[in-house]
Amino acid sequence: MARPVTKAIFPVAGLGTRFLPATKVLPKEMLPVVDKPLIQYAVEEAMEAGIEEMIMVTAPGKGALEDHFRPAVELESFLEARGKTEALATIRENFPQPKSISFTLQDDPLGLGHAVWCARDFIGNEPFAVLLPDDLMQAIPGCLSQMMDAYHVTGGNVVAVEEVAAELTSRYGILDVIEDDGRLARAKGLVEKPSPKDAPSRLAIIGRYILQPEVFEHLNKKVTGAGGEIQLTDALAATLGDIAFHGLRIDGRRFDCGSKMGFVEANIAFAAERSDLSDG
């Protein structure tokens, strides 16, 4: 039986250069979609999937992320005194309160694989989830919950995948598939950012992972890959002979909020789902 997953890593140490000047001071993961920061959507998705311990891998200068998850005592008293109950609820009873949130630093942005490696002491020898908050998912049940259901059947490593246009394979980790039932694909190989002519398929890994701790053995070697970065995909590829690897197509929509177009689309799509805004 697949071992339960109760911990999640949120790699949030990137520089967010595509969103300058907004991200000169504000961490990219604090950008709001409608009225909620990206990081909060990701934490809520993780909680829905049964994650209890959240580990954020952050960078110097991104303290706003930590502040966001601390109680805002003065603001709460102010809202209470003014009788602003709805506003108060957004930061109190409706605010996500997982069992724990820890923060650890990635001093240098050496790549996603390195960011995940920075959280190794919090994970120990357990399977864990990784959520990239800039991939915002609109799905019921949530993306990670759908993946957990698949994981309980398959075990091993499970990632969320999406079919991308041939010309976009060079932006993603791409699966080399041996079996595919249209929703769940089993991979025999993985390639990080292949050019369209070298891509073994168009099934691209998006920002959600359920991983076995063996991946740290490979990340420990700190091998650099595409773009001179320590790539998570390369470490996963190295475990393929020993650990089953499945990609799950998610029932729902993904917004790449690391790109301006995805961010704008997400704001419109999430506003359209809101009873207080959809008419407008």
Instruction: Please select the residue that binds ligand UTP; options are 45, 53, 134, 192, rule is CB under 6 A.
Output: 134
Contact flags string 40-79 toward ligand UTP, x per CB under 6 A: -----------------x----------------------
* Residue 73 in tokens: 């005592």
Give buried/exposed letters for 35-44 (b at 16+ CB in 10 A, else e).
eebbbbbbbb
* Residue 93 in tokens: 């009873």
Closer to ligand UTP at the Cβ: 18 or 253? 18
* Residue 198 in tokens: 């070298």
Closer to ligand UTP at the Cβ: 62 or 249? 62
According to the binding rule CB under 6 A, does residue 12 interact with ligand UTP? Answer: yes
Closer to ligand UTP at the Cβ: 177 or 226? 226
Q: What DSSP element (H or E) covers 27?
A: none
According to the binding rule CB under 6 A, does residue 114 interact with ligand UTP? Answer: yes
How far is the CA of 36 from the CAs of 41, 118, 196, 209, in angstroms? 7, 27, 36, 23
Is residue 136 within 8 Å of 255, Cβ to Cβ? yes
Only segment of 106-114, 165-173, 219-227, 242-250 that touches ligand UTP (CB under 6 A):
106-114
According to the binding rule CB under 6 A, does residue 106 interact with ligand UTP? Answer: yes
Strand 128-131 versus strand 203-211 pairing type? antiparallel
According to the binding rule CB under 6 A, does residue 212 interact with ligand UTP? Answer: no
Site residues (vs ligand UTP, CB under 6 A): 11-18, 28, 57, 106, 109-112, 114-115, 132-134, 258
